[in-house]
Amino acid sequence: MMEKINSLSAYFKEYENSIEDPENFWSEIAKTFQWQKTWDNTFSWNFNGPDVKWFENAKLNITENIFERNLHTHSEKTAIIWEPNDPNEKSIHISYKELFEKTCQFSNALEANGIKKGDRIIIYMPMIPEAAIAMLASARIGAVHSVVFAGFSSSALADRINDCQAKMVLTSDGNYRGAKNIEVKAVVDEALEKTNTVGKVIVCKRTGSKVQMKTGRDLWWHDVIKNQSLQHKAASLDSEDLLFILYTSGSTGKPKGVVHTTAGYMVYAQYSFLNVFQYEHDDIYWCTADIGWITGHSYIIYGPLLTGATTIMFEGVPTYPHPGRFWEIVDKYKVNQFYTAPTAIRALQAKGLEPILPYKLDSLKVIGSVGEPINEEAWHWYHDNIGKGNCPLVDTWWQTETGGIMISPLAGITPNKPAHASLPLPGVQPVILDAEGNELKGNNVEGNLCIKFPWPSMIRTTYGDHKRCKDTYFSTYPGTYFTGDGVKRDHDGYLRILGRVDDVMNVSGHRLGTAEVENAINEHSGVIESAVVGYPHEIKGQGIYAYVICSINDQAESDLIKEIIATVSKIIGPIAKPDKVQIVSGLPKTRSGKIMRRILRKVASKDFSNLGDTSTLLNPDVVEEIIEGANI
């Protein structure tokens, strides 16, 4: 059994061990897992490749570590509590034994439908238990899942299917989200018109919406599992075999497929879950993320299930049918650990204290935050009103690429400091670099956050384009992994994440590239050029501000803006819709033609001080025009 760190001195000792002898440190942790064959070498690495391998030449299956490893101790324990969107619908409790059987059954169904080890499967499903079963069955047979958030548009879905050459799509008829019933299958149908690799689509019935089933391609979930055995022998995978691909936005081009492999991801998912949340055997744990994001992968599914935890999967949204919905669920299941995003906290904070009053919230032991910097006001509101002033708040910093939590307090162990992710987990070696790549040692320094040593769950490559992985993460500061975030180490040595230093926005905890949104805007036939920046937004953290040059002038500006917003929604999805659009006659550019985003960011943030010397611009007049017409 994996031991938890149980005191601050034990944390410092474990941290020191992990730096002094990482081989021994990680191999001791890895020994608590079930291996079909153990490793020859704990890890090897070269950040110039990059070429990183963990637990080399070992054989395993992550689902054996969720099921077979633990069944003798908790087969009847609830693995997943599923809470529906509509509180009047019945919730579902699935024990480890049942989840194991359903995983095996669906593994057999996938194989019966031609899926083999290494094949890519797209999961485009709502937050229903079948989505978890789909991920686990994919892992069990050695296929590679790529979950696509079910709010992405058909064209975003098609891009992902094409990029990973997926053979199968798993989906549902519809998706209940708040008051909406989204026609999920119809989105898949549209996406598949632009792809040619998908042979089969398996559709899970959720809403009963009428769907078109294409003969020979589309099958019902309930039909494919009929007559399939509840037993399945797990595939034997190499440590470095792909477990999943998850697409995420960067500062250039289309989203890239972040690749995670089997053994390292598994070891780190459980280690980080257990220690950050200090999970105890009978605790009820709830992470409100969607499985379409890395948080859902590592801290709804893999981390908790590897630990033998009871994990809640919530289908709905925080404010439906009322703004106390989260707190109702916390009381209903006596949730002990609650993990959500600052954007949800701020949205609920804006509703005032009244929605919280009917609830006790006295089961909570730990509250957590993830996805974006949490401002001090939201931190205190969350700590005081939800944690009642006596729950440790874990502000967890990490990324799709890191696979697991990297910098965070350990609940109840690391002293809390508002808005500080605080200290690295054992095994994680962050460094702060200045623009030239010099390490800023000591306290009271601010710079670019990099990691100088490998950790088990780190990104291995970007699918199908290894050079892109190198260029994005390992070239800015050679020899280190560059996170894209700014960070400050304060006078106590605690780390505070300052947000992205590249052209990536963080909107309601969703990561979006400015270039990605610009490309979508430019799809509108009346658009000549656009520039997108993030600006501070009270609820979303960052909002999207688009400056657009149009060729059309015979249409009302408000209609044009509506169309531009609708175009972005169609190309990417509603999460990428610009909050503000300003039609401009030009964009401030340097003499070499580069857009001066700094100026655009300042205007969007209502900060007109210190715009810098604009006289060297190609078109200084446009700055005046932009300021005058600013939509702020």
Which residues of the shown chain bind ligand PRX in the complex (CB under 6 A)? Answer: 248, 293-295, 369-373, 395-400, 421, 483-485, 497, 499-500, 506, 511
Nearer to ligand PRX, 120 or 420 (CB): 420
CB of 511 to ligand PRX, least distance (A): 4
CB of 531 to ligand PRX, least distance (A): 21
Nearer to ligand PRX, 141 or 366 (CB): 366
Nearer to ligand PRX, 206 or 500 (CB): 500
CB of 258 to ligand PRX, least distance (A): 8
Nearer to ligand PRX, 14 or 372 (CB): 372
Q: How far apart are CA 470 and CA 466, in angstroms?
A: 6
Nearer to ligand PRX, 100 or 299 (CB): 299
Phi, psi at residue 73, to the nearest 5°? Answer: -100, -30
CB of 45 to ligand PRX, least distance (A): 21
Of 178, 172, 91, which is closest to residue 133 (Cα–Cα)? 172
CB of 489 to ligand PRX, least distance (A): 15
CB of 277 to ligand PRX, least distance (A): 14
CB of 267 to ligand PRX, least distance (A): 18
Q: Which residues, at least 6 apart from 407, have a Cβ–Cβ distance to it below 8 Å?
A: 396, 397, 398, 421, 422, 423, 424, 425, 428, 430, 495, 497
Q: How far apart are CA 499 and CA 513, in angstroms?
A: 14
Nearer to ligand PRX, 59 or 260 (CB): 260
CB of 190 to ligand PRX, least distance (A): 25
Nearer to ligand PRX, 85 or 457 (CB): 457
Neighbouring C-alpha atoms within 13 Å toward the C-beta of 259? 22
Task: Give yes or no for a contact between 60 and 262, defined as CB atoms under 8 angstroms apart.
Answer: yes
Nearer to ligand PRX, 371 or 456 (CB): 371
3-state SS class at 219: strand
CB of 374 to ligand PRX, least distance (A): 6
- What single DSSP character describes residue 297? I
Task: Give yes or no for a contact between 176 and 86, defined as CB atoms under 8 angstroms apart.
Answer: yes
CB of 203 to ligand PRX, least distance (A): 28
Nearer to ligand PRX, 321 or 499 (CB): 499
CB of 295 to ligand PRX, least distance (A): 5
3-state SS class at 201: strand
Q: How far apart are CA 160 and CA 463, in angstroms?
A: 11
Of 150, 152, 170, 181, which is closest to residue 86 (Cα–Cα)? 181
CB of 582 to ligand PRX, least distance (A): 26
Q: Which residues, at least 6 apart from 250, have a Cβ–Cβ distance to it below 8 Å?
A: 256, 472, 502, 504, 513
Nearer to ligand PRX, 475 or 631 (CB): 475
Question: Crossing angle for the helix pair 129-141 and 96-112, nearest 10 degrees?
Answer: 60
Nearer to ligand PRX, 201 or 378 (CB): 378
Residue at token pair 């964009």: 587
Q: How far apart are CA 268 and CA 563, in angstroms?
A: 45
Residue 212: how many CB atoms within 10 A of its CB? 8
3-state SS class at 473: helix
Q: How far apart are CA 223 and CA 412, in angstroms?
A: 48
Nearer to ligand PRX, 84 or 371 (CB): 371
Of 533, 536, 539, which is closest to residue 508 (Cα–Cα)? 539
359 vs 83, 84, 202, 318, 356, CA distance in Å? 18, 19, 40, 15, 6
Question: Crossing angle for the helix pair 597-604 and 621-628, nearest 10 degrees?
Answer: 20
Task: Give yes or no for a contact between 474 and 506, defined as CB atoms under 8 angstroms apart.
Answer: no
CB of 365 to ligand PRX, least distance (A): 20
Q: How far apart are CA 389 and CA 375, in angstroms?
A: 17
Nearer to ligand PRX, 78 or 369 (CB): 369
Indicate the helix (H) or strand (E) that contains 574: none
Of 304, 12, 301, which is closest to residue 145 (Cα–Cα)? 301
- Buried b / exposed e across 490-528, counting CB within 10 Å, b at 16+? eeeebbbbebbbbbbbbbbbbbbbbbbbbbbbbebebbe
CB of 439 to ligand PRX, least distance (A): 20
Question: Which residue in the shown chain puts its C-beta closest to ligand PRX?
Answer: 400
Nearer to ligand PRX, 485 or 503 (CB): 485
Can you read off the two tokens belonging to residue 436?
């030239």
